[in-house]
Amino acid sequence: MLRAREPGMISREKALQMIDAPTFEDAAKLLADCGYEDLTGRSAQEIAESLVRVKEDRIREIASICPDPETVDLFRLKYDYHNAKVLLKSEAMGISAERLFSGAGRIPADELAEIYREDRLIMLPSALSHAISEAKEVLARTGNPQAADFILDRAYYGEALELCGRIGSSWVTGLYRLMVDGANLCSVVRSSKLGKDDSFLDEVIMDGGSVSKQAVIAAGEPESVAAVFAASGPLREAAQEVIEDPSGPITDLEKAVDNARNAYIRGASLINYGPEVVVAYLSALEEEITAVRMIFTCRLAGVRGDSIKERLRDLYAQDRRYRRKRNSSRLQGAGARHLCRRQRRGGPQGPSQPHPRQRRVRHHICRGDPCGRAPQRDRQVQGPAGPGHHLHSRQGRRQRQKPAGAQRGGRARRRNEYSRRLI
């Protein structure tokens, strides 16, 4: 079901059309064609509330049909910790912040608030309960809300990685390790710009990534840390930006990290079923809603289209031009889909570079004589396949198997007999 929804998701091509639309109403119509509410005449607050409702409704729908609740809980986990931050900071400031609660978490926001006010944290999951208690104590002692955020963030990623281990998917675990690596890289660069020392890094950097916390702290300068991430892994391009321009804006690095994560998520499009499909769809949905909110709030504020495009991240759904380019590149490589049926069953391998037109004419390619038919009876391949490779078309195969003087096919014979009876 989720794979069937993916073609209707917003691609970068569609997002650019919304940015370039002449009026806000035209952009809202394009969004409505993608299954969203009509945002015509809405304020920025109403747009945000509408998009939050869409996200919460779709998460609840998927949670009701997903056979493994922990897969959806992995995605809903962040909203529990978000609500915990809202509770801690609103209590410290003496204000009511119920409008900032998210309804997408595992625990309903009003229930979490009641448990927190009545000091019944033992009823919460152990990791969340311990994190709230520690953050509350640190906030009361130091008055620093940032220190409380660090505690909750570490607890969130720790519990998320524990859930990944129970789910048992290396792809899902790799996604959350990538998220930890991206957060650590941004934290190092941000700390360097603020002039923080190693003791601050020790509080900010988290465990669980592909690069250990000790290795990140030992590297010291942002260029050295970026060199560690640039050596391998999905963050190569983001780390290379830091190496080339250490004084560049942090927003460019955050965008590069988000694009690296979205590129990793797009890799799940080749997986047909399993927890990867659910996690990839929910992550893509969140990125799509974030992009829509940014586009429409910026248009309401009168931000130029070029500035909006600079902030726009890569999206999960790809436009048709990208899919054609990707499919054509796949045709150039060797794969089972380019080989004949006997070769797919384990026979001799075909050429490493099949001709790109062969898929279109529904030929299969053979090298030498692996399929048992002589090359001289078939048309020779012109192009990169070269001599010694030949094609067997399905039509030609049927003609060769039909003996001389054979009657017409059964379908045509029955059609002619039916016509004679009508006459």
Residue 394 has pLDDT above 50, yes or no: no
Residue with tokens 């944290």: 121
413 in any annotated domain: no
Residue 312 has pLDDT above 60, yes or no: yes
CATH number at residue 237: 1.20.1690
396 in any annotated domain: yes
Q: Quick one: pLDDT at residue 351?
A: 42
Give the domain extent around 212.
Answer: 170-270
Q: Quick one: pLDDT at residue 293?
A: 93
Residue 334 has pLDDT above 70, yes or no: no
Nearest to 90 by CA among 120, 124, 117: 117
With contact defined as beta carbons under 8 Å apart, do 10 and 288 qualify?
yes
The tokens describing 385, both together, are 């396949």
When pLDDT is averaged across residues 168-172 and rounded to a whole number, the result is 92
The Cα 130–Cα 81 span in angstroms is 12
The tokens describing 292, both together, are 């829509």
Q: Quick one: pLDDT at residue 92?
A: 87
Rounded-to-5 percentages of helix, strand, coil across the chain: 65, 5, 30
**Lowest mean per-residue pLDDT among 35-44, 292-301, 395-404:** 395-404
56 in any annotated domain: no
397 in any annotated domain: yes
263 in any annotated domain: yes
Domain boundary among 270, 288, 305: 270
Domain boundary among 249, 270, 291: 270
DSSP 3-state assignment of 44? Answer: helix
Per cent of the chain over pLDDT 90 is: 35
110 in any annotated domain: no
**Lowest mean per-residue pLDDT among 61-75, 274-288, 313-327:** 313-327
Instruction: Kindly report the pTM of this predicted structure.
Output: 0.71
- Name the residue with higher pLDDT: 102 or 244: 102
Q: Quick one: pLDDT at residue 237?
A: 85
Residue with tokens 């130029």: 304
The partner residues of 393 in beta bridges, in order of sequence, read: 363
DSSP 3-state assignment of 233? Answer: coil
Q: Quick one: pLDDT at residue 192?
A: 86
Q: Quick one: pLDDT at residue 28?
A: 92
**pLDDT tens per residue, range 21-42:** 999 999 999 999 888 888 888 8
When pLDDT is averaged across residues 320-349 and rounded to a whole number, the result is 41
Residue with tokens 């931050």: 85
Residue 356 has pLDDT above 70, yes or no: no
Q: Which pLDDT band holds residue 242 (cuts at 50, 70, 90)? A: confident
309 in any annotated domain: no
264 in any annotated domain: yes
Domain boundary among 241, 270, 299: 270
Long-range CB contacts for residues 65-74, cutoff 8 Å, separation at least 24: 65/1, 66/278, 68/167, 68/275, 68/278, 70/163, 70/166, 70/167, 71/167, 71/275, 71/278, 71/279, 72/278, 72/282, 73/106, 73/163, 74/160, 74/163, 74/164, 74/167, 74/172, 74/279
With contact defined as beta carbons under 8 Å apart, do 364 and 351 qualify?
no
Residue 316 has pLDDT above 90, yes or no: no
When pLDDT is averaged across residues 303-324 and rounded to a whole number, the result is 76
- Name the residue with higher pLDDT: 129 or 248: 129
DSSP 3-state assignment of 392? Answer: strand
When pLDDT is averaged across residues 110-138 and rounded to a whole number, the result is 92
What average pLDDT does the chain have?
78
- Name the residue with higher pLDDT: 168 or 373: 168
When pLDDT is averaged across residues 45-51 and rounded to a whole number, the result is 91
CA distances from 298 to 15, 55, 308, 315 (A): 13, 20, 7, 18
- Name the residue with higher pLDDT: 224 or 346: 224
**Lowest mean per-residue pLDDT among 8-22, 47-61, 368-382:** 368-382
Are 183 and 265 found together in one domain? yes
First to last CA, the chain: 50
Residue 294 has pLDDT above 90, yes or no: yes
When pLDDT is averaged across residues 305-327 and rounded to a whole number, the result is 70
CA distances from 336 to 172, 342, 345, 356, 360 (A): 27, 10, 9, 15, 16
Residue with tokens 């927003």: 251
Query: How is residue 103 annotated by DSSP?
Result: S
The Cα 390–Cα 76 span in angstroms is 55
Domain count, the chain: 2
Q: Quick one: pLDDT at residue 115?
A: 93
Residue 387 has pLDDT above 70, yes or no: no
Are 266 and 338 found together in one domain? no
Q: Quick one: pLDDT at residue 199?
A: 83
With contact defined as beta carbons under 8 Å apart, do 291 and 15 qualify?
yes
The Cα 271–Cα 257 span in angstroms is 23
Residue 423 has pLDDT above 60, yes or no: no
Q: Quick one: pLDDT at residue 319?
A: 53
Amino acid code (one letter) for 28: A
